[in-house]
Structure 1
Amino acid sequence: MANKEKLNSIPLVLTALIFIFLILISSVASASQVATQVTRIGNGSDPAIYGSKVVWTDDSVIHVYDLTSKTDTAVNSSAASHPAIYGNKLVWRDESSGVPRFTVYDIPSGARSYITKDIDNRSIPSIYGNRIVWSANYNESNYNYSIYMRNISTSTQAWIAQGENPEIYDTKIVYSANGRDIRDIFMYDITTKKTELISPYSSDLNNPYIYGNKVIWSNFYSRGGFIQMYDLVTKKAIDVTSDNAGNTLPEYANSYADAGDDTGTHIDINGNKVVYSKSGDDQFGYAGVYIYDIPSAKSTSVYIYPRETDTTPDIYNDIIVWGIDSSYGGVNDTGIYICDLSVTNTLPPIAEFTANTTYGAAPLVVRFDDISTGGVSTSWIWDFGDGIDSKHAMNATHTFTKPGNYTVGLTEENAAGNSTATKPGYIVVTDPNIPVADFNSKITEGYVP
């Protein structure tokens, strides 16, 4: 009899576990659909975008996708990586001959030429107009590479400076190099041939990008780095993705004190928008693809991924393209994705949220997570039901100090409209001073007399 009762309890346990598993699957599926206007256009890695064309590599073959005609064209290539595009000019690192070189490809005609001088297996091209810049030839004595520029219209090439990871915009080249302490960000003016130190202080600074009078870079002083932005006109720098505060999420209470320092691995800037990959969870949001609006100084999630996933976002006007950087781990996904912000913002959000706990004694700390669908939200207002409202970027953590049943609501809004999700009596807070009935017994099973 006793054994039969224990066997009967197994199906009940399995049923409960299956039910919990289905809930978790449902939650994850909802959380990944922050922006519904996300389209998979191919498979591969290293995507870049200019105008109506997206380029990437798939199994070392270059692909060119036309956003207007929605056609994918594979370019005859092998051992290709790190493509860059400007207008109808495409350049990538080519190791098909066994020796690193750059292939320069004209998309309309299919004509190609090669850059073979001062290229190594770490050289990554950046192109603007007829100029291509890159770094190569590491110097162990000063811990720097050399930066080179080639004008493909005149077939002339020049050494620019000591440094690495250069990016070019118009007549300006920005790059990272050993400076005052660890690494600084410098800018070279092609017209005046003058170099300027633009980072306000030295740290582990790298991955600079430039657009107009704005320069962004990653500060890798801690973990995966955070983004800083410098204005060439005002000569001032700000932190974009970190306020140097600790992670306030309850599950990270005793963890690292550097929230936002998981946003430096992949960044880009175009117009008034900065896109970046976020690989962790904190009060600033979940891991995923994010866009930072410079005028409003607000970050918005574009697509959510599991923690420790690094994406590779690039942006041109309202189009964001990204893939997954598998070298950092995370999800096993080879997709190339695009999100058209102009289309997404024509849809209102559909508010929905969840909480990490809904029952407990006061003071009860609860983490609320936005799992909305529809268009990308630009504002969030949380109503915790205790007279306290919170304007928060996507997620919120709130402490309920008094016993009671609390109705929680979330209102989300974008240019297309707003939506409210309300859950009556969602949070139940008990009095910590009320005794809880409990008992124990030395005898837990047996046979009747």
Structure 2
Amino acid sequence: MKNKGRLCSIALASVFLIFVFLILISAAASAAQVTKIGTGYDPAVYGNKVVWTNGVVIHLYDLTNKTDTTVSSSGASCPDIYDNKLVWRDESSGRPRLAVYDIPTATKSYITRNVDQYSKPAIYGNRVVWSANESVYLRDISKSKQTKIGSGSNPDIYDTKVVYYSYSEDPNADMAIRMYDLKTKKKITVTSSGDPNIPRIWGNKVIWADVYNHQGYIAMYDISTKKTVDVTHQLDTDPSGNEYGASTGTHIDIQDEKIVYNKCVDDYEGKPGVYVYNISTGKSTLVYKYPEDVYTTPEIYDNIVVWGIDKNYVDSADDNDIYLCNLVD
């Protein structure tokens, strides 16, 4: 009895120590890596700069100096950044337009033609792409030249290639991800499988969310090899017979060998939160854990991941903080 009591005490102490150890590991993984840098929505990152909006002004945060500069622009949303240029949708005048802001000179100009209340700009170099009224537009801001390049929505741009969602251009597909090459003036269908949307491009990789149900899953196409692989799981059944997977398609981004995404349910595939997927290894890592049904908007550049709460899935401004994680810290 004496030995049994001692063994029970040792077992309980071991369990307690393991429990405390796991808590410390979890706390360290979150606290050591993640920093709150502001409050608002729609963060984007490029180099050492992060941009976001709180609906009244645009915030520009310098990661090197840890300074937050504001740009006056009421009615701002959906900002993007490339080098020293910012773009965002601006409705301060009472009608939708796109603002283009040059950081060194602090000068602002507007794109007013073919813009609607759903236009979300993306920028690469001097080129800005967006969609309005089911058409995709490109503007070279260095030449003030604007053209319609396709019929669709949700465009993204990398160098001379633009990807977008379309349901009318490919006669063999009801829904497709299309890619337009600015050099060759040619288009191809990247995928017409399932219900693909929210395409993103970097280098020779195109990713998208197949949003057919359960918030969708993420797939990737390699332009050079012409092969498609699943990044996250399609809808499946775990060993206990419960559905899992296809809960990762609400917000995605790609840069070099990394993909970031939001997961919003707790299932066999993993916990809800912000994830980074390594293309080379095919492995996903949980960066920051959230409760179920919390939707975030992760974006990535180099080893910096930024995110906020997706305002499309909240009814109030509670907990709309902007967070940053340096993956090498």
**TM-score normalised according to structure 2 size:** 0.88
Question: Structure 1 residue 334 and structure 2 residue 320: aligned?
Answer: yes
User: Alignment identity in percent?
Assistant: 53
Partner of 1:310 in structure 2?
295
Q: Number of paired residues?
A: 305
Take 1:276 and 1:133, find their aligned partners in 2: how far apart are those partners? 22
Partner of 1:63 in structure 2?
59
Partner of 2:8 in structure 1?
none
Question: Structure 1 residue 270 and structure 2 residue 278: aligned?
Answer: no
Question: Structure 1 residue 40 and structure 2 residue 36: aligned?
Answer: yes
Q: Evaluate the alpha carbon distance shift between residue 206 and residue 32 of structure 1 in structure 2; reply closer, same or farther with a 3 A threshold.
A: farther
CA positional deviation for 1:70:
0.1
CA contact (8 A) 2:209 2:219 kept: yes
CA contact (8 A) 1:32 1:305 kept: no
CA positional deviation for 1:37:
1.2
Take 2:71 and 2:178, find their aligned partners in 1: how far apart are those partners? 35
CA contact (8 A) 1:31 1:304 kept: no
Q: Which structure 1 segments of 5+ residues have no match?
A: 1-26, 138-144, 344-449
The one-letter amino acid of 1:324's match is: I
Cα RMSD, aligned residues only? 2.1
Partner of 1:440 in structure 2?
none
Partner of 2:160 in structure 1?
171
Aligned mate of 1:319, from 304, 307, 315: 304
Aligned mate of 1:205, from 196, 220, 224: 196
Q: Which structure 2 segments of 5+ residues have no match?
A: 1-21
Partner of 2:104 in structure 1?
108
Q: Evaluate the alpha carbon distance shift between residue 342 and residue 285 of structure 1 in structure 2; reply closer, same or farther with a 3 A threshold.
A: same
- 1:265 aligned counterpart, secondary structure: coil
CA positional deviation for 1:325:
1.0
Aligned mate of 1:287, from 261, 272, 279: 272
CA contact (8 A) 1:60 1:81 kept: no
CA contact (8 A) 2:56 2:72 kept: no
Partner of 2:91 in structure 1?
95
Take 1:299 and 1:125, find their aligned partners in 2: how far apart are those partners? 28
CA positional deviation for 1:165:
0.4
CA contact (8 A) 1:182 1:202 kept: no
Q: Evaluate the alpha carbon distance shift between residue 333 and residue 234 of structure 1 in structure 2; reply closer, same or farther with a 3 A threshold.
A: same
Which fold has the larger relative contact order, with Cα–Cα distance below 8 Å and residues 6 or more apart in sequence?
2
CA positional deviation for 1:269:
0.2
Larger Rg: 1
Q: Superposition pairs for residues 36-435 of structure 1, below 5 Å?
A: 36-137=32-133, 145-178=134-167, 179=170, 180-199=172-191, 201-248=192-239, 253=240, 255=242, 257=243, 259-329=244-314, 332-343=318-329
CA contact (8 A) 2:216 2:234 kept: no
Take 1:161 and 1:307, find their aligned partners in 2: how far apart are those partners? 37
The one-letter amino acid of 1:59's match is: G
Take 1:332 and 1:244, find their aligned partners in 2: how far apart are those partners? 31
